[in-house]
Amino acid sequence: MKQTVFIFGRTPHLSFLELQSFYPEATRILDSVAMVTKAVDASEMIHLLGGTVKIVEITGTMPELDTDALLTELEHHAENGHLTFGISTYGKAHMGTSVLAVFKKQLAARGISARYVETKQHETLSSVVVSKQQITELIVIGTETGYLVGVTRAVQDFEDWNTRDFGRPEPDPKAGMLPPKVARMIVNVALSGGSLAPDHHPMLLDPYCGVGTILAEALLRGANTVGSDISETAVAHAKKNLEWLRHTYPSATPLYANVFVSDATHLGTHLTPGSIDAIATEPFMGEPVDSKDAAGLTPERVKNILKGLEKLYIGSLREWAHLLKPGARIVMAMPSYMANGRVLRVKKVVDRCESLGYTLLTGPIEYGRPQAVVRREFYIFQKN
Report yes or no: 316 and 207 within 8 Å, Cβ to Cβ. Answer: yes
pLDDT computed for residue 289 by the predictor: 64
Task: Please indicate, yes or no, whether residues 219 and 262 belong to a single structural domain of this protein.
Answer: yes
Does residue 332 lie in a domain region? yes
Choose between 17 and 128: higher pLDDT.
Answer: 17
The residues, ordered by sequence, that sit 6+ positions from 113 with a Cβ below 8 Å of its Cβ are 81, 82, 83, 107
Q: What is the pLDDT of residue 39?
A: 87
Mean pLDDT of 86-106: 80
| Bridge partners, residue 229, by sequence | 261
Rounded to whole angstroms, the Cα distance separating 369 from 363 reads: 17
Instruction: Give the pLDDT confidence score for residue 126 in this predicted structure.
Output: 87
- Does residue 332 share a domain with residue 197? yes
**How distant, in Å, are the alpha carbons of 150, 319, 335 from that of 65?**
13, 57, 44
| Residue at 186 is within a domain | yes
Residue 192 counted as domain residue? yes
Model pLDDT, residue 361: 96
| pLDDT at residue number 175 | 56
pLDDT at 65 over 90: no
Give the closest residue to 99 by CA, choosing from 62, 77, 74, 78.
74
Residue 166 within a domain? no
pLDDT value, residue 78: 83
Domain assignment present for residue 165? The answer is no
Question: The CATH number of the domain where 327 resides is what?
Answer: 3.40.50.150
Same domain, 329 and 357: yes
Residue 53, pLDDT above cutoff 90 = yes
The model's pLDDT over 346-369, given as tens digits with 9 standing for 90+, comes to: 999 999 999 999 999 999 998 876
Q: Please indicate, yes or no, if residue 262 is contained in any of the structural domains.
A: yes
DSSP structural state of residue 287: S
This prediction has a pTM of 0.93
Q: pLDDT band at residue 27, thresholds of 50, 70 and 90?
A: very high
Q: Are residues 141 and 198 in the same domain?
A: no
In angstroms, the CA 347 to CA 303 distance is 11
Answer yes or no: is 167 within a domain: no
Q: Determine the residue type at 78.
A: A
d(CA 170, CA 233): 11
> Are 201 and 94 in the same domain?
no
pLDDT over threshold 80, residue 341: no
What is the predicted pLDDT for the residue at 295? 61
- Among 20-29, 163-172, 173-182, the minimum mean pLDDT is found in 173-182
Residue 291 pLDDT more than 60? Answer: no
Give 152-169 pLDDT, tens digit per residue: 999 999 999 999 999 999
182/123 same-domain check: no
Q: What is the 3-state secondary structure (H, E, C) of 317-351?
A: HHHHHHHEEEEEEEEEEEEEEEECCEEEECHHHHH
Asked if 149 and 244 sit in the same domain, the reply is no
β-bridge partners, 240: none
**Could you list the residue range(s) of the whole structural domain that residue 282 is in?**
172-383
Pairing of strands 82-91, 52-62: unpaired
- Is residue 163, in this structure, part of any structural domain at all? no
The rounded percent of the chain whose pLDDT value lies above 90 is 60
| End-of-domain residue from the set 156, 190, 215 | 156
Strands 224-229 and 257-261: parallel
pLDDT for the residue 9: 92
Helices 180-190 and 158-166: crossing angle in degrees, nearest 10, is 100
Condensed to tens digits (0 to 9), the pLDDT of residues 243-290 reads 999 999 998 989 999 999 999 999 999 999 999 999 999 999 887 665
Residues 258 and 366 grouped into a single domain? yes
Residue 193, amino acid: G
